[in-house]
A and B are shown apart, each in its own frame.
Chain A
Amino acid sequence: MNLRNILTVKDLSKRYSKTGSEITLDCINLNVSQGSTIALTGESGSGKSTFLNIMAGLEPPSSGEVFFNGVSLWKITEAERCKFRRSELSIIFQNFNLINSLTVWENISFQAKLSGKWSASFAEHLLNRTGLTKIRNSYPDQISGGEQQRAAILRSIIAKPQLLLADEPTGNLDDQNSDVIIDLLLKLVSEVGSTLIVATHSQSFASKLDQTFSLKSGKLKS
C-alpha cells in the first residue's frame, strides 16, 4: 500500500548555546507516512525532545524545514501554527501536563472542543474503556500518575489528530503501568488512524512500533 507522506523533515539542524556552537540536531531528514508509528530513541540529552518540539511547531529550528501535509511549519505565522496544533496535532508529555484547575472530564474534552471535534459519546466510550469513569470529576492532583497519563492519552486521542507526538509517555511510570499505557496508546492510535511519533528510552516500546530511529551526536539513524 502506498501511503502518502504526512510529515517531511528536511535538512533540520538545531544549535544551542550563545555562540551556536553546540549542535543538538545536525542536518536531519525524515519522511513520515500517514498512519505509521515511529520510535525515536537515543541517550538522554541526544535531542529527542527538541526534535519533537520542532515537529510540533513549539520550538523553531536553527535551519532546515518541517513540512506537514506540504505546508512548511516554520514559514507560517505563530497563529497558524497554533491552529495546526489545535486541529491536526496532539502531544503527550512525560509529566502528563494536565490542567490542574480542570477535572479529568474537562481535561479530556479540552483539546477536542478547541478543535471542534468533540464527540461526547466517543469520549464516554473511551472513558469506559480506559476505566476512568469513576474519576471523571476528580482533579489531576487527586489521582495517580498512571491515571493522569491515561487521561492525557484520552485528551490527545479524543481530538482525533492526524499526528500524535509522545515524549517519553511512560518515563514517569512503573513497568506495570507503562505496559498498560503503551498498549492503550497503540490501540487507540490504530482506532483513530493517527500517525504516532514517540520519543522513548524503552526498547520494548520501540519494538512494538513500525519503525525505529535513533539520535546520536545530532544525527538520525534508522
Chain B
Amino acid sequence: MRLTVLTIFALLSQWRKSPFQLVLMVLSLSIASALWSGVSIINKQARVSYDKAGSLFERSKVPLIVSSEKNYFSDSLFGELRTAGILVSPLISGSLRIATRNYEVLGVDLVSQKSNYLGFLSNSNRFLEFIQPPYKIIVNDLTRKNLFQHSLFPEIEINNSLADDTIIMDISAAQNLLNKKGLISRLELYSPEYDVNQSFLTKNSLTILSSDSGEDFEKLTRSFHLNLSAFGFLSFVVGIFIFYSAINLAFEQKRKIVHLLSVIGISKSIITVSIFTELLLIGSIGGILGSLLGYFLALLLLPDVSGTLRGVFGVPMKSSIVLPWSLWLINFIIVICGVLAASLSYQIKIHKAALISRNTHNVSVASSQKSARLLSYIGILILLVGFIFFYFFSQSLELAFSFLGCFLIGFTLLLPMVLLNTITFLSFFTRSITAKWFFSETKTQSHLLNIALMAIVLAFSINIGVSGMVNSFKDTFTSWLDQRLAAEIYLRVPSQKYSTNVLEFSEANGGEVLPIYGTNLRVHDYPSTIYAFKPHATYRKHWPLMQCLKSCWDDIEANNGWLINEQLARKLNVEIGENLVINLPVGNLEKKVSAIYSDYGNPKMQLMVPIDFFIENYPQLKPTTYAVRVNKKKINSFISAAKMQFPFDGSWITDQNSVKIASLEIFDKTFSITNSLSILTLIIAGLAVFSTLVTIGEARRSQLAPAWAMGITKLNLACQEFLRSLILAIVSIMFAIPLGVAISFILTKYVNVSAFGWELPISIHLNDWVKLSSITISILTISILAPLLRNNIKTTQSFLRTFNNE
C-alpha cells in the first residue's frame, strides 16, 4: 500500500513540470463531459416539460368533447352520454386567484370509469379522501409551498409530475371553487369516436377534438431526443478524442519516470494501479467540472430547445433547470468510462512493458502505413456491420441511427489511408529534396494528427449532412407551402353561428370561399384525419401531388379515387392505382388510390374527399376554417373590411404571407438547437487539433531541429508546419464532404422516413458547403497557429535540448 501511495505521488509530481498539459487534459475532459451532460440535462428538461404538458390540457391522449360555442357546458350532458353507454369522464378547468398568484384549477371525476387522472394519486385506493370533504388536492411541491400560508386546502398530496401552480381536485369541489356549479369544460372520450351520436353533438353544440395522437407525438419527440442524444454523444466522442490526445502527451512525459520506477523495482501491477488511480482523480475533477459546465451549457442552449419544443410540439418549456442526482451520477460514470477507454492502450502498453521501450511519437513512415491499413480494415468491417443494419432496416428509427453511426465511423476510419495516399500522390510530382522532405514529414504528421483529423471529419461531415438535410427540407417546405397555401386569405371563425355571415361577407367582397374542415377516423386501425375540399381549380393547379394517375383530379372530384397523404401511403404501403378499402360512416368503400400528396410537418395520416361526399358521411359537421381566393390587390382592403365588420380576436383572419412567415419561423426554430450543437461540435474538433498539436509539439521539434541546424530558418520551418497541418485539414474536409452528402442522403431517405413518415427530395447547397468550409478552416487556422506561436517563443531552447539529450 505504502509503495502504491509513493508511486502515485511520484507520478503526480510530474505535473509540476507541465501544468499546462494538466490543465489541457482536465479541460478536454470537462468539455467532453460538459457536452454530454448539457445535452442530457436538456433532454431531461424537455421530457419533464412535455410530460407535464401532455398530462394536462395541452396534449390530451384521448379525444375530448367540447362546446363549439362556449367554454363551459352543462354537466347533465355527461349523464346523457353515460346513459347512452358512451364512456366519458367530465372535467372542469379554470383560473383561480389566491393572494397574489393565479392557479390553474383542474376538477376531475375519479369515480368515472377509466379517468385519466387516477394515476396522480399516490395510492388509488385512497381516492375517497379525494372525493369527500374536506377534499384533498394534488399539487407539486412548489405549489404546496406557495399554498401553505393559506388555509383554503387542509389536505394536500404531493405529485411532482404536475406543472407549477396547478391544482387537481374533485370536480364538484372545483365547480364550487370556480363558481361554475353544474358546468364542465370538457368530456374525455374513452369510447370510439364513431360511437358518439353525431346528432346529439350537433344538437348540443358539441364537437369532438381529436387526441393529439399520443403515438405520433411520442414518435416525434422520440426522434427529437434521439437527434439531441446523437449530437451529444458525438460531441462526447469528439471530446474524448481531445482527451486521448492529451493523455498521449501525459504518458509520453511519464515514459521516463515509469521506466525509472520499473528499474527501482516497482512492479507493473503497482504502476498500473497507480496510473489508474491518477486517471480516476483526473477523471473525477474533469467530470465534476464538466457537469457544472454542462449545467451552464444547458442554460445557454435552453432558449433554442425551448424554441424547438414550442415550434414543433407546441410545448412550453421552463427556463429554470432541475437536476436530479441520478443524472449527475450517470454523467460521472460515463466520464470515468471514457477516461478508462481512452487510456486503455497505455494501460496495455504498461502491462506489456512496451511504454518504456520507445518514444511512440517518433513514428516511422512504415508504422504510419501499418496503422492506417489496420484502421481501414476496421473501418470496412464497421461499414459492413452498418450495411447489415441497413438490410434489416424495417423502418426502425434506432436501426436507422445505428446504420448512420456505423457509416459515419466506418468511413471516418478510412481517413488515415486516404491521407497517406493523397500525400504520396502529391509528392510524386516533386523533385527537390525540401519538397520531398515536406511531404514525408506531412506523412508523419498525418499519423500524429489522425485522431484530431478524424474528429474534424466527424464534426464537419455531420454539419454538411445536417445542413444538407435541413436546407433540402427548407427548400421543399417552402415550395410545398407555396403550393399548399395557394389561397390569398385564411379565416378561422370562432363559432359556427357566425359562419353564414362571414361567408356572405366574403362573397360580397369578391372572394371565392373554399371551406377547410375534417374529422378523425381510423384507417386500418391507424388514427387518421379525413378532410373535405371543394373541387376547384386552385387544388388542380397548386395541390402538392407527389404521384398521381393521369386523370386523378377527375376521379377524385367524381369520388372515384382516393387522395391520400404520403404518410398514409407509406404506412399502408400502397401506391397509386392500387385499391384501398376505407371504413367510413356510410360503410366500407374500396377505391383506387388516384393521387398521393406531400404533407410535411404533419405526423398524422390523412385523406381528402370532395365536400359533398364528406357531408354524406358527416352531415353534422360544419366548417369553421376557410381559404378565400381574392384578387391579390384586394387582400389588404378585404382584411381591413373583415376586421371592421367582425369584432373577433385579431388572429381569426390572416393573409397567405403571414402564414408562410410564421411557418418558416417555426421551421427555423425547430432546427436552431441542431445548428447550435453542430457549430459547437466544430469548435470542439478545432480544440482537438489544438490539443494534439500541443501534445506532439516536442516530438515535432525533434524532427525539425536537424533541419534548423542545417540552415533552414525557424520561420520557414514554422510556415511548413502550418502548411502541413492546413493541407491535412483541407484534405480531411474534402474527404468529409462526400461523407456529409451521404449522411444527408441517409437522413432524408431513411431517418426522416422512419421518424416522421415522409421522404424529402435532396438538393445540393454549394454555398452552404463554402460557408461551412470557411468556418471550419477559420477555426482550424486558429487551432494550428496558436500552438505554433506558443512554441515559437521557446523554439531555440527546445531545438538545442533535442541535440543535447534524449
Contacts and interface: CB of A to CB of B under 8 A. Distances in A.
A83 to B, nearest CB: 7
Contacts of B804: 49, 94, 167
Interface in B690-709: 703, 705-709
Interface string B754-792: 000000000000000000000000000000000000000
A109 B433 contact: yes
B514 to A, nearest CB: 74
Contacts of B796: 58-59
B362 interface: yes
A144 B746 CA distance: 53
A98 B364 CA distance: 12
B711 A99 contact: no
A96 B363 CA distance: 17
Interface stretch (B176-184, B337-345, B438-446, B572-580): B438-446
Nearest to A90: B710
B711 A83 contact: yes
A63 interface: no
A142 interface: yes
A107 B440 CA distance: 12
Interface in A55-112: 56, 58-59, 78-79, 82-87, 90-91, 93-95, 97-102, 106, 109-111
A138 to B, nearest CB: 10
B802 A101 contact: no
Contact of A79 (B364, B713, B806): B713
A78 B805 CA distance: 24
Given A53-B800, A59-B796, A114 B709 contact: no
Contacts of A99: 437, 441, 703, 706-707
Contacts of A8: none
Contact of B364 (A83, A85, A100, A106): A100
B433 A110 contact: yes
A94 B804 CA distance: 7
Nearest to A140: B364
Nearest to B713: A82
Given A100-B703, A101-B703, A95 B713 contact: no
B440 A49 contact: no
Q: Which of A90, A110, A115 has the most CB of B within 10 A?
A: A110
A101 B709 contact: no
A58 B800 contact: yes
Contacts of A98: 706
Contacts of A142: 364, 366
A79 B708 CA distance: 11
Contacts of B708: 58, 82
Nearest to A101: B440
B714 interface: yes
A97 B433 contact: no
B197 interface: no
A201 interface: no
A11 interface: no
Nearest to B368: A101
Contacts of B617: none
Q: Which of B433, B434, B710, B805 has the most CB of A within 10 A?
A: B710
B710 to A, nearest CB: 5
A205 interface: no
B639 to A, nearest CB: 74
B803 interface: yes
B365 interface: yes
Given A78-B714, A101-B443, A113-B433, A58 B707 contact: no
B715 to A, nearest CB: 8
B732 to A, nearest CB: 20
Contact of A111 (B443, B710, B803): B710
A113 B441 CA distance: 17
26 contacts: A49-B804, A58-B708, A59-B796, A82-B708, A83-B711, A84-B711, A87-B711, A91-B709, A91-B803, A93-B706, A94-B804, A97-B705, A99-B441, A99-B707, A100-B363, A100-B444, A101-B440, A101-B441, A110-B433, A113-B432, A114-B712, A115-B711, A139-B364, A142-B364, A142-B366, A167-B803
Closest 10 pairs (CB-CB, A-B): A86-B711, A101-B440, A85-B711, A113-B433, A97-B706, A111-B710, A82-B711, A82-B713, A101-B444, A141-B364
Interface of A: 49, 53, 56, 58-59, 78-79, 82-87, 90-91, 93-95, 97-102, 106, 109-111, 113-115, 139, 141-142, 167
